[in-house]
Structure 1
C-alpha cells in the first residue's frame, strides 16, 4: 500500500521549527482526514498537526520533547490507492521519485565557468538549495545563501580598506544571487571619488560602531502620550530645580525595579537580570553622544539625585568623564524634545536592552472628566525601544504605562 508522510507544517511566517508535546495516535490506529494527531509547541503557541487523508498509522518517527524543522517527517500513514486519487496527496514513493530526478539548476551548474568572486571553481560550486514546499504548498526556505554572503576575496579587500558589511549596503551586487563582488565595490568607490568628504572623528566612529552592533538585534518601539503639567508644577517649587530628564530617569528606574525582567540580557538560552538599576542619560556633545550612568536610581530620591545628575551632565558636555562614569548601565534615557522633536525611535546601546525617549511638550486641549470640558495641557510623546528577544510588545507597553503613572505623582519621586 502507498504511504503518506505526516509532515511538520509551516505553523507561522517566522517559525522554522516546533517541539512535539504529545502524540495523540499510535502505530495501528485508524485516522481520518484533518484529524489532530500530534500536538506541537512553537515560540508563539501550542498547535496541532493534522492528517491530509484517511489511513492507518504505519510509523511514528517523532519523539515527545524533541524539536523538528518545518517539513520534517513526523510519521507515516498507510493509505489506499483510491484515497491517494481522491485527495491528490503526495506519497513517499512519489516524493522519492521527484528527488531522484536531475534538477535544472544542477544541470546549469555543470556549465559554470571559474569565478574568482566565489573563491572556488565553477565545477565545485553548488547552487543554493531551492525552496522546498511544505504541507499544502507553503514555501519553506532551506538555507539559501543569498546576497549576504561575502567571498573570502571580497572579505580580504574589505579588511584592507577597513570596511564592514554595513558600509557596503549601498553597493548594488552583480554577482550570483545579488552578491557584491570586488569589482562592484571598486566601481562604487570610483563613483564616490569626486564627492565631498570629511574624516570621521573618533567620537563619530565610536557611535557608528555602537549603533552597528546594536542593530544586529531585533529592536522594536512603542509609544504613549504623557501629561507633564504635574511634573512642571512640581519642578517650579523645587530649589535647585531638577531637570525634566531626571524626573524621567527616576520614574524609569522605579518602573524597572518593579518589572526587572524587562531589563535583562539575552545570553545563549538564558536571560540575565540586573543586580542594580543604574540608568544612563544621553548627552549631546560635539559630533556625537556620550552616556554617563547614574547609580542606584531606584534607591535615591529625586532631591538626592539632582547634584549627582548635574555634575555628570556637566562633565559629559566638557568631555571629562572617567571610564567608570560610563559603565554598567542597564538602560538609557534620552530627551530629544530639547531639539524640538516630538517623536523618534532611539536605539539602545549594544550592552543594554532598553532606551526611553521623550519628545517636546506641546500644549493641547485635553478632556477633563472633573469639569467636563477640554482644558489646555502640556503633552509629550514617550517612546520605548527594546530588544524584542527579551521583551514583547505587551511587556514593553506595561512598563511604559507604569512610567507614565509615576510621572503623574512627582512628589513621590
Structure 2
C-alpha cells in the first residue's frame, strides 16, 4: 500500500495485510538496496509469516531512498518498510483514506483463495523470476538459515545457484578460516570457541559450541503462540484405538499396480484420509468450530482437510479444500502436491488457511502414537502411528499382521467421549475392511 510522504515524489511502502489475519511479519531479506532502481511489480523483499514466506512486489517504480527495517525485524502490518523516489510517469495515486483501510497484498487474501484443483505456481517463485539480474538474487531458505546461524551478511556472498541465487555451499565458502587463540588454563594458548581451525594435515576441524541460541521467529514463533493458545483455551482430551490394517495394506499393494494410480505415490496416509472423511460424513459434529464471540458451535458441512508437514521452516499444515468431494486417487495426488509445496517453501497463505480437521502422521518417524494438540479453530486432530508387522490374534489364531494405532485429540467443549470414541472406531473399521470404501473411491 503506497503512501505519499512529505516529499512530493517520495512514496512509502507499508507492510500490507497478507490476508491471514496476522498482525505482523518477519522481514527475511531485502532484494534491493539504497540507490537501486526498482521497477513496477519487482520483488523488493521477502517476509515470513506463520503461513509462508511471501515475496513483496513493488507497487511503483523509482529509486530506493531508504530501507526502514532490517532482516530479522518483526514488522507490524501497516508499518513503513521502504521509501522510493517515484517516477512521475508511473506514480500511483495515494489511497483515498489513509486512516481506515484494509488493503490486501495483490495475489493474497480472501480473493486469492480458489477451490480449483489446478493451482497456479507459487507467487514467491514467480515474482523472484521477474527480478532484474542487476539486483541481488534471492538465497535459498537453507542458505538464509545457515547465514543467520553463522552471522554471514548475504549481501557480500556471491551466488552460484540458478540466476545467481545464493546456495548453502556459497555460504559455507564465505566463512573465513581463522585460528585465533585464547589463554588456556595451563598458560598455553588454545583455539577460541566458535571458530574453524585446521589440524596438522590441513583439514578443517569444526568445534562444537557448548550452547547455541536460535532467535524465535517466523513459523516457530507463531506455531508456539498457536500451541500456547490451544493448551490454554481448549479443554482437550484424547482417545486411542489399535487397528489391524492388513486388508488396507493389501488393497494399497493392488491399487499401485492398476492404471488408475499409475504415476502416483499411493501411501497409507491417503487411505487413512479417505477413511477419516467417510467417518466425518457419519459424524459431522466432529467437523465443528467454537465461536467464542457469538457463543455458538459452528458445524461445517465441508471438510478442508489439513495434513501436517514437517518442513525446514517448521511445522506447516496445508489443507485440501473440499476434501470430502475427492476420490482416493485425487486425495493421493493432492496430498503429495501439498506436502511437496510446503517442504519447498512454496505454500501460499491460501493453501494454509481455513482448515477444519487435521491429520498428523507421526508414523513416518517410526513413532507408534502421539497426543497432538488441536489446532485453534478446529475441534479435533487425528494422529496416525507407524504401521508395523506385529503378532495379532486373527480369527482366533495368532498371526503376523499389519497393525497401527490411531489417536484422536478433541475439544471437549464440543465433542464428548462417546462421540469421539464412535468416530474413531468407525475410522478404524474402514481401515480394517477398506472394501467398504470402494463406493467412495
Structure 1 segments of 4 or more deviating over 3 A?
none
Deviations 1:250-287 (A, max 9, x none): 11111112111122112243211013112100000125
Deviations 1:330-359 (A, max 9, x none): 110011011111121011211111100011
Distance 1:368 1:195, change over 3 A: closer
Question: Would you say 1:313 and 2:339 are equivalent positions?
Answer: yes
- Decide whether the 8 Å contact of 1:252 with 1:403 is kept in 2: yes
- Decide whether the 8 Å contact of 1:245 with 1:334 is kept in 2: no
Partner of 2:88: none
Structure 2 Cα separation of the partners of residues 273 and 227 of structure 1: 31
Relative to the length of structure 1, the TM-score reads: 0.51
Alignment of 1:121-160 (within 5 A): none
Structure 1 Cα separation of the partners of residues 216 and 301 of structure 2: 37
Partner of 2:290: 266
- Decide whether the 8 Å contact of 1:227 with 1:408 is kept in 2: yes
Partner of 1:380: 404
SS in 2 for 1:375: strand
Deviations 1:127-186 (A, max 9, x none): xxxxxxxxxxxxxxxxxxxxxxxxxxxxxxxxxxxxxxxxxxxxxxxxxxxxxxxxxxxx
- Decide whether the 8 Å contact of 1:257 with 1:277 is kept in 2: no
Structure with max Cα Rg: 1
Question: Would you say 1:232 and 2:215 are equivalent positions?
Answer: no
Q: Shift in Å at residue 391 of structure 1?
A: 0.4
Q: Which structure is higher in RCO with an 8 Å CA cutoff and minimum separation 6? A: 2
Q: Count residues with an aligned counterpart.
A: 220
Question: Would you say 1:296 and 2:322 are equivalent positions?
Answer: yes
Question: Would you say 1:390 and 2:414 are equivalent positions?
Answer: yes
Question: Would you say 1:351 and 2:377 are equivalent positions?
Answer: yes
Q: Shift in Å at residue 362 of structure 1?
A: 2.6
Relative to the length of structure 2, the TM-score reads: 0.48
Partner of 1:198: 214
RMSD: 2.1
Partner of 2:432: 408
Q: Shift in Å at residue 196 of structure 1?
A: 4.9
Partner of 2:124: none
Unaligned runs of 5+ in 2: 1-209
Structure 1 Cα separation of the partners of residues 296 and 370 of structure 2: 30
- Decide whether the 8 Å contact of 2:287 with 2:303 is kept in 1: no
Deviations 1:214-271 (A, max 9, x none): 1121011100001221121111122334221111111111111211112211224321
Partner of 2:311: 285
Alignment of 1:182-197 (within 5 A): 196-197=212-213
- Decide whether the 8 Å contact of 1:218 with 1:389 is kept in 2: yes
Partner of 1:115: none
Q: Shift in Å at residue 381 of structure 1?
A: 0.9
- Decide whether the 8 Å contact of 1:263 with 1:274 is kept in 2: yes
Q: Shift in Å at residue 292 of structure 1?
A: 0.7
Q: Shift in Å at residue 361 of structure 1?
A: 1.8
